[in-house]
Amino acid sequence: MLIQLILLLILLGAMYMTYRRRKQKAIRPIEGYLWSLVWLGAAVVVIQPDLTTRLARMVGIGRGSDLVVYGAVIVLLLLVFHLHIAHDKLERQLTELVRQKALEEQKKDL
Amino acid sequence: MKVVAVIPAYNEEKRIKHTIVGVLRYTPHVVVVDDGSQDQTHREARAAGAQVVRHAVNRGQGAALKTGTMVALSQDADVVVHLDADGQHDPQSLPDVLMPIETDEADVVFGSRYLGMKPEGMPWTRRWVHRAGRLFNRYLLGVPHEITDAQSGLRAMRAEAAHAIDFMNDGMAHCSEILRLVTRSDLRWAEVPVCVRYTEETLAKGQKASNAFKIVWQLFLRSFR
């Protein structure tokens, strides 16, 4: 089916990007492996959709695509949570930096 | 007793001078924290006779207050006073806020806009909103219900108290955060009534506040349609 081809091409592209980022040492080895695993897993599911259906039945969900959506929602929520924490930390660090600079300049004025 | 007034200011070039001049009548030490203003707040503040600390970018009122408090403490302040820059706090209230500290009755004093105000004159909707706000503070934030003005920006604290309470919130939630930290510590706290200054500006603001209640009320009514 066409959708399978499109998805596989996108996943191939993602795999290539991950490989390049790893080569550039932009991501840690563990991150490279984990993302590769995610893309590979997705590719397997795209080629063999029945696999998810069997898995879904096992945990009591009717359709395989539902299982994928539920899983994706959970993963996305975790990512948002992680980003939220990271953002909060950055904000605090920025405030601290701005404060240090302000205090240093104030000392110079005295 | 060295009293240092800390005034966070963000784009307050028009009003900061008036506030500083008022405060200088009660203490010679005024620290203005220019929180990344785009206007001439820092010039106006310096010209009016305040020490100025400048945040390079806007970080919020809580962050500015903390910076100012650190400056005050580094200059051996005995008492740190927090005020808003916009002139909503009458500097005449300063002696009232400082009194419980001078007489050693409290370590932290909050100025309350509502204490001593007769509730009979207040519309019942407003009373209801206050009650709801207090319930929220009490059960969700852990602030005692005795606090009558949880959003007061006018407060005084002994240096030891200012050292002890480490407020983290950069934005406007620091009011509740400070209340929570103080009331849960061993520090002695007090609330004193502070007067409202009746200038055209504050009157306009008061008008806005009642409008806000009206809007909430209208939204409430509309939800039944």
The string of pLDDT tens digits covering residues A20-42 is: 999 988 888 898 999 999 999 99
pLDDT band at B186 (very low <50, low <70, confident <90, very high): confident
Q: Which residue in chain A is spatially nearest to B52 when comparing CA positions? A: A106
CA gap A12, B18 in Å, rounded:
66
How high is the pLDDT of residue B148?
Answer: 73
CB contact under 8 A, A99 and B56: no
Q: CB within 8 A of B133, min separation 6: which ones?
A: B150
Query: Residue B11's domain spans which residues?
Result: 3-222
| CA–CA min distance B51, chain A (Å) | 9
| CA–CA min distance B208, chain A (Å) | 31
Instruction: Work out the percent of chain B whose per-residue pLDDT is above 70.
Output: 70
Does the pLDDT of residue B152 top 90, yes or no?
no
Task: Report the CATH number that the domain containing residue B185 is assigned in CATH.
Answer: 3.90.550.10
CB contact under 8 A, A102 and B70: no
**Position with higher pLDDT, A81 vs B121:** A81
Q: In what order do the strands lie in the sheet with B79-82?
A: B51-55, B29-35, B3-9, B79-82, B155-158, B108-112, B189-193
CB contact under 8 A, B170 and A92: yes
Does the pLDDT of residue A72 top 70, yes or no?
yes
Average pLDDT, rounded, for chain B: 79
How high is the pLDDT of residue A1?
Answer: 82
**Position with higher pLDDT, A79 vs B197:** A79
Does the pLDDT of residue B225 top 50, yes or no?
no
Task: Give the pLDDT mean for B118-132.
Answer: 63
pLDDT band at A88 (very low <50, low <70, confident <90, very high): confident
Does the pLDDT of residue B131 top 50, yes or no?
yes
Q: CB within 8 A of B176, min separation 6: which ones?
A: B137, B141, B143, B150, B151
Q: b/e map of B62-80 (b: 16 or more CB within 10 Å)?
A: bbbbbbbbbbbeeeebebb
Report CA-CA distances (Å) from B19 to A19, A97, B30, B194.
Answer: 60, 28, 10, 16
**Position with higher pLDDT, B106 vs B171:** B106
CA gap A15, B82 in Å, rounded:
56
Identify the weakest region by mean pLDDT among A101-110, B66-75, B119-128, B169-178.
B119-128
| CA–CA min distance A76, chain B (Å) | 27
Highest mean predicted confidence (pLDDT) among A17-21, B149-153, B175-179: A17-21
Domain count, chain B: 1
Which residue among A92, A101, A106 sits closest to B71, beta carbon to beta carbon? A106
Does the pLDDT of residue B213 top 70, yes or no?
no
How high is the pLDDT of residue B203?
Answer: 46
CA gap B129, B127 in Å, rounded:
5
Question: HSE of B67 in the Cβ direction (CA atoms, 13 Å)?
Answer: 36
Chain B interface residues (partner A, CB cutoff 8 A): 33, 36, 51-57, 59-60, 63, 66-67, 70-71, 74, 168, 170
CB contact under 8 A, B63 and A98: yes
First-to-final CA distance of chain B? 60
CA gap B139, B131 in Å, rounded:
12
Which residue among B63, B74, B168 sits closest to A99, beta carbon to beta carbon? B63
Exposed, middle or buried by CB within 10 Å (0-12, 13-18, 19+), for B217?
middle
pLDDT band at B141 (very low <50, low <70, confident <90, very high): low
> CA-based angle A99:A102:A104, to the nearest 5?
110
Does the pLDDT of residue B81 top 70, yes or no?
yes
Greatest C-alpha distance within chain B: 60
Spatial CA neighbour of B26 closest among B109, B90, B114, B117: B90
Report yes or no: A91 and B57 within 8 Å, Cβ to Cβ: no
| CA–CA min distance B63, chain A (Å) | 7
